[in-house]
Amino acid sequence: MVIDYKKELEQAAKTMILVHEPDTLIKMIARTIVQKVKVSHAGILLYNKEKNTYILTVSRGEPGLKIPAGFARMDLDNPLIQFFKERYDKRLLGDGVLVYEEAKKILKRQAIGEGIPELKKALYQLEIFGAAVCIPAYYRQELMGLLLLGNKKRGRFRREELDFFIALTSDVTMAIKNAQLFHELELELEKKHRLFIHTTIALATAIDAKDHYTHGHTARVTNLSLEIAKKLSQKYKKNLDEKFLEALHIASLLHDIGKIGIPESILNKEGPLNEEETKKMRQHPHLGAVILQPIPELKEAILGVKYHHERYDGSGYPEGLKAEAIPLIAAIISVADTFDALTTQRPYRAALSKEEAIEEIKRASGSQFDPEISQAIIDLYKEGKI
């Protein structure tokens, strides 16, 4: 069977574009080489930045011939690594491919000269690995790795096959570098995301500390809001994707951030608030939205912060929204917020039991609360999850 190497290269290149995991990519390439060109084994050594060494990351081929992945490494002073890092391959081999049989012929013709001692040492390394061909992978001037190939099962390597390996290695190098950069970007984004969440939690804790009577309130509301969202997804088949749950998480943590702008004399008053104090307290959802407004990424979370005191019948605040006009994220927080408030001890009233609080939510279903969300928290209570 004659292999159309140009077609194979184009197909491999198309596949590489879609792969963003370096490990998956190099496994696929090694498997392709072993299957298409019929070599006894193929291995890829990649530079590990953390360990400052080249590690045999992938190995494919016949048992007994291939070296298990992870069991071989080459430090920077390894003769084979040095041979390519110092670019003796270009000076002695022209195309950069180290073919064992061809290199042996060079040594017969030339016993001394620049790069000859290094070539001898490099060939010894090929013998250790049982490799017939070694192709370097460069990104700009950086040696990223080596492709080691065992002997062909039939015949010797033809020029078109070596050209295929060179082109494939070049494409793989670029694809791996892109995949690594993509992976590094993901890690950086994840790192920033964790930092943001931790900062949000710290801010929420600071809000709790400002209000002496609601210690732990934010964490409890957040946990309960997420449980309600899961129940809504299960019971009513609502499509609450990861983006929504992330926004709900943040909104729950920050739903009372506007209390930063409320005097502590009002927050910590031992007794019911008068009309003026109530008016000021009711400003906190709007203040919270104003505080978060400069962060465009929190657009959906801000809806939860601003509207979590709206009521299903339209008698809530700050805008008197009604029924489905109330964003779902806010309606969820509203129920969770009320349940926790009812079950928390205050100076002017005793905490209700969970059962009593659930009864209150039942009575307010359809007036203060969305009926589906009310039923979701009732189900959670019956299941012993709250």
Task: Supply the CATH number for residue 215's domain.
Answer: 1.10.3210.10
In this structure, the answer to whether residues 228 and 362 fall within a common structural domain is yes
Which of 62-76, 160-174, 315-329 has the highest average model confidence (pLDDT)? 315-329
Percent of the chain whose predicted confidence (pLDDT) is above 70: 85
Single out the residue of 273, 226, 278 nearest to residue 253, CA to CA.
Answer: 226
Sheet strand arrangement including 98-99: 73-74, 53-61, 41-48, 142-149, 133-139, 98-99
In this structure, the answer to whether residues 98 and 159 fall within a common structural domain is yes
In this structure, the answer to whether residues 165 and 214 fall within a common structural domain is no
Decide if 34 is inside a domain: yes
Q: In 3-state terms, the chain is what percent helix, strand and coil (to 5)?
A: 60, 10, 30
In this structure, the answer to whether residues 171 and 199 fall within a common structural domain is no
Inform me whether the pLDDT recorded for 63 exceeds 70. Answer: no
For 265, the domain range is: 193-382
In this structure, the answer to whether residues 255 and 120 fall within a common structural domain is no
Q: Which of 151, 179, 207 is the last residue of a domain?
A: 179
Which of 25-39, 73-87, 144-158, 309-323 has the highest average model confidence (pLDDT)? 309-323
In this structure, the answer to whether residues 161 and 210 fall within a common structural domain is no
Model confidence, pTM: 0.56
Single out the residue of 133, 144, 149, 159 nearest to residue 29, CA to CA.
Answer: 149
Q: Which residue has the higher pLDDT, 344 or 36?
A: 344
Q: How far is the C-alpha of 80 from the C-alpha of 124, rounded, in Å?
A: 9
Over the stretch 107-124, which tens digit does the pLDDT of each residue have? 888 777 788 899 899 999
Residue 25 near residue 188, CB atoms below 8 Å? no
Inform me whether the pLDDT recorded for 1 exceeds 60. Answer: no
Inform me whether the pLDDT recorded for 3 exceeds 60. Answer: no
In this structure, the answer to whether residues 78 and 125 fall within a common structural domain is yes
pLDDT of residue 364: 94
Give 237's contacts (C-beta < 8 A, 6+ positions apart). Answer: none
Domains of the chain: total:
2
Decide if 184 is inside a domain: no
Q: Which of 126, 156, 179 is the last residue of a domain?
A: 179
Which of 1-10, 164-173, 268-277 has the highest average model confidence (pLDDT)? 268-277
Decide if 150 is inside a domain: yes
Q: For residue 132, which phi and psi values (nearest 5 degrees)?
A: -100, -25
pLDDT of residue 95: 72
In this structure, the answer to whether residues 90 and 211 fall within a common structural domain is no
Sign for the CA dihedral angle at 293, 298, 302, 303 comes to positive
Decide if 87 is inside a domain: yes
Decide if 188 is inside a domain: no
Give 63's contacts (C-beta < 8 A, 6+ positions apart). Answer: none
For residue 113 the two structure tokens come to: 């000269």
Read off the pLDDT of each residue in 147-167 and give the average, rounded to a whole number.
Answer: 80
* Mean pLDDT score of the chain: 82
Single out the residue of 304, 15, 335 nearest to residue 168, CA to CA.
Answer: 15
Identity of the residue numbered 200: T
Decide if 187 is inside a domain: no
Residue 38 near residue 3, CB atoms below 8 Å? no
Decide if 138 is inside a domain: yes
For residue 221 the two structure tokens come to: 């509301």
Q: In the structure, what pLDDT confidence band is assigned to residue 297 with cuts at 50, 70 and 90?
A: confident
In this structure, the answer to whether residues 128 and 220 fall within a common structural domain is no
At which residue do the structure tokens 């060109």 appear? 37
Residue spans of beta strands (DSSP E) within the chain: 41-48, 53-61, 73-74, 98-99, 133-139, 142-149
Following DSSP, what letter does each residue of 218-287 receive, concatenated?
A: HHHHHHHHHHHHHHHHHHH-----HHHHHHHHHHHHHTTGGGGGS-HHHHT-SS---HHHHHHHTTHHHH
pLDDT of residue 4: 61
Residue 331 near residue 341, CB atoms below 8 Å? no
At which residue do the structure tokens 């292999």 appear? 3
Percent of the chain whose predicted confidence (pLDDT) is above 90: 30
Inform me whether the pLDDT recorded for 141 exceeds 90. Answer: no
**Angle, vertex CA 294, rays to CA 293 and CA 300, nearest 5:** 45
Inform me whether the pLDDT recorded for 308 exceeds 60. Answer: yes
In this structure, the answer to whether residues 149 and 274 fall within a common structural domain is no
Residues in a beta bridge with 73: 55
Task: Supply the CATH number for residue 112's domain.
Answer: 3.30.450.40
In this structure, the answer to whether residues 345 and 229 fall within a common structural domain is yes
Read off the pLDDT of each residue in 308-314 and give the average, rounded to a whole number.
Answer: 95
Decide if 318 is inside a domain: yes
Residue 92 near residue 85, CB atoms below 8 Å? no
pLDDT of residue 68: 60
Residues in a beta bridge with 60: 42
In this structure, the answer to whether residues 11 and 115 fall within a common structural domain is yes
What's the longest Cα–Cα distance across the chain? 102
Q: Which of 179, 208, 224 is the last residue of a domain?
A: 179
pLDDT of residue 6: 58
Over the stretch 314-370, which tens digit does the pLDDT of each residue have? 999 999 999 999 999 999 999 999 999 899 877 667 788 999 999 999 999 999 999
